[in-house]
Amino acid sequence: MKPTVLIVDDENINLLVLEKILNEDYTLYKATNGTDALRLAKRMKPDIVLLDIMMPGLTGFDVIKELKSAERTRDIPVIYVTGLDSDDDEEKGFLLGAADYISKPFSTGVVKSRIENQISSIKRIRELQEKNITDALTGIHNRRYFNTTLDDVWARALDTNTSVGFIILDIDHFKSYNDRYGHLNGDIVLQEVAQIMTQRIQRATDYVARWGGEEFAIILSNTPIEGAAVVAEDIRKLIEDHVFVLGDGTETRATVSLGVHAVAPGVETDYDLVSFLSDADKALYQAKQNGRNQTSLVYDDLAKWNLSS
């Protein structure tokens, strides 16, 4: 996927010039005022913001103050794009958190090199962060990564008026399994369940994470309830049919229960993330209550129905 850049400038000619320079290598978002810039930054969370200083209404200085004060946007590098050339203006920008400056009129080479430098820094930081967001046992992402990613996917769905699909999966009777075969063999099951899930989830916009213990979660971008249900059932069947080979060569099987939900947050405007996750968890509980090894959905005003029966 291309890195993303939000360009903020009240002059259309400047937007067009920057778009021509960057369009081939980056996915671009554009805003012509500070209010729209803040809205897009919070929703889309671009990799970099190119920010004009002199704008009517909210100035670039006002915008960067807001960006750096919000947890969701404070780590986004901001490069000022400005015709101002005084040392005081430059110092003020850096004190407010700007990562760099690009002076008008634009030089193609300077624009590209300044952005490439920031992208390189972002990649190094993300490589370090990756170590903190990966579950050590299964090799997939952990709950911390899941929370951040779901926030991002939800924000994009709001902006594009699309659906977010969510699956929560629990390995059936896992405690009894651990008691019978031991925790090391239980780890084998956890690892192979994670592998099965990641093999089925192949779109770059979908995410698998270990939710905690024997629970896993899947985020499906731009996916309605019907699509999420198909994915969940595929995974349930794959796990049901899978032969787990334990450390001593013993072969065994396992099953899982799944709760599925999907919603378009731009349509369900009074429906927040807390409710979304809570209702998916209720669907998982329903699958367990109905006998496990099942997929249950939150559907039609939270009426639950069992897909697997």
Domain limits, the chain: 4-130, 143-306
Question: Looking at the annotation, which residues are catalytic?
Answer: 214
Secondary structure of residue 196 in the 3-state scheme: helix
- The residues, any chain, with a CB within 8 Å of residue 183's CB and separated by 6 or more, are none
Tell me the H-state helices in 58-134.
Answer: 60-69, 87-95, 108-130
Provide the 3-class DSSP secondary structure of residue 198.
Answer: helix
Cα–Cα dist 78/99, whole Å: 5
| Three-state secondary structure call for residue 28 | strand
Per-residue pLDDT of the chain (309 residues; tens, 9 = 90+): 899 999 999 999 999 999 999 999 999 999 999 999 999 999 999 999 999 998 999 999 999 999 999 988 999 999 998 876 666 777 788 889 999 988 888 889 999 999 999 999 888 887 767 678 889 899 999 998 898 899 989 988 988 889 999 999 999 999 988 899 999 999 999 999 999 999 999 888 899 999 999 999 999 999 999 999 999 999 999 999 999 999 889 899 999 999 999 999 888 767 889 999 999 999 999 999 999 999 999 864 344 444 444
Q: Please give the CATH architecture assigned to the domain spanning 4-130.
A: 3-Layer(aba) Sandwich (3.40)
d(CA 48, CA 55): 19
Instruction: For domain 143-306, give its CATH number from 3.30.70.270, 3.90.226.10, 3.20.10.10, 2.60.40.10.
Output: 3.30.70.270
Biggest CA-to-CA distance, the chain: 74
**What are the residues whose beta carbons fall under 8 Å from the beta carbon of 281, sequence distance 6 or more?**
168, 259
